[in-house]
């Protein structure tokens, strides 16, 4: 599945395009056995951008779920238009996948909740030669001092099987 192998690049590009938190807060509680990376590795409270990425692997070592949460600290007077941000993220995602020979059809943004904050969400179906190969979800939320994004993706055939892990990570998020 060629597109799936490049999914991580798309996820990283999306997070970097928009929006992360204090390392000591433990914002993301990853399930046991996941490969987890953080950028920067040892953030301090004054770091403007922090990104955490968790990858769940199948027994054969293939990726079955990739989730990425980011937080950007905001200036006191900064106002974020979540609709505009998520539409820009959707556009970037579609362009990135198109360059890989894939087509991403995404829903219109809809209201959601992320870590206790009001959010917007869109769901994308990624196809190759007319066959759905990936499901990807993007969410954006704005707190008092930070903007957050969550992106997760799974091979389309395995997406439903990953719902419990997705919900476990999402329900453990406590954003401010």
- Contact call for residues 13 and 143 (beta carbons, < 8 A): no
Fold for domain 2-172?
A: Protein Transport Mog1p; Chain A (3.40.1000)
What does the pLDDT look like over 78-96, one tens digit per residue?
788 999 999 999 999 999 9
Token pair of 92 as six digits: 């970037």
Q: Which residues contact 79 (CB under 8 A, 6 or more apart)?
A: none
**pLDDT mean over 60-73:** 94
Residue 27: pLDDT band (50, 70, 90) is low
**pLDDT mean over 22-32:** 65
What does the pLDDT look like over 152-163, one tens digit per residue?
999 999 999 999
- Contact call for residues 150 and 68 (beta carbons, < 8 A): yes
Residue 115 φ/ψ, nearest 5 degrees: 60, 30
Q: Report domain extents, the chain.
A: 2-172
Whether the pLDDT of residue 104 is over 50: the answer is yes
Alpha-carbon dihedral sign for residues 81, 87, 92, 96: positive
Alpha carbon distance 35, 32 (integer Å): 9
The pLDDT score that the predictor gives to residue 45 is: 63
Alpha carbon distance 35, 86 (integer Å): 27
Residue 44: pLDDT band (50, 70, 90) is low
What does the pLDDT look like over 120-157, one tens digit per residue?
999 999 999 999 999 999 999 999 888 999 999 999 99
Token pair of 138 as six digits: 């993007």
Alpha carbon distance 19, 4 (integer Å): 23
Residue 169: pLDDT band (50, 70, 90) is very high
């Amino acid at each position: 599945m060629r597109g799936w192998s490049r999914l991580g690049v798309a996820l990283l590009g999306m997070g970097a395009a928009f929006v992360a938190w204090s390392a000591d807060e433990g914002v993301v509680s990853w399930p046991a056995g996941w490969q987890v990376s953080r950028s920067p590795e040892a953030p301090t409270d004054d770091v403007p951008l922090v990104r955490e990425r968790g990858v769940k692997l199948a027994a054969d070592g293939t990726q079955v779920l990739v989730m990425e949460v980011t937080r950007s600290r905001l200036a006191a007077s900064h106002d974020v238009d979540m609709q505009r941000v998520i539409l820009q993220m959707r556009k970037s995602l579609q362009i990135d996948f198109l360059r890989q020979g894939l087509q991403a059809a995404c829903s219109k943004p809809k209201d959601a909740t992320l870590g206790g904050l009001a959010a917007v969400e869109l769901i994308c179906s990624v196809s190759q030669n007319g066959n759905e190969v990936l499901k990807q979800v993007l969410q954006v939320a704005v707190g008092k001092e930070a903007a957050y994004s969550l992106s997760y993706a799974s091979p389309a055939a395995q997406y439903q099987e990953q719902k419990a892990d997705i919900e476990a990570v999402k329900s453990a998020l406590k954003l401010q």
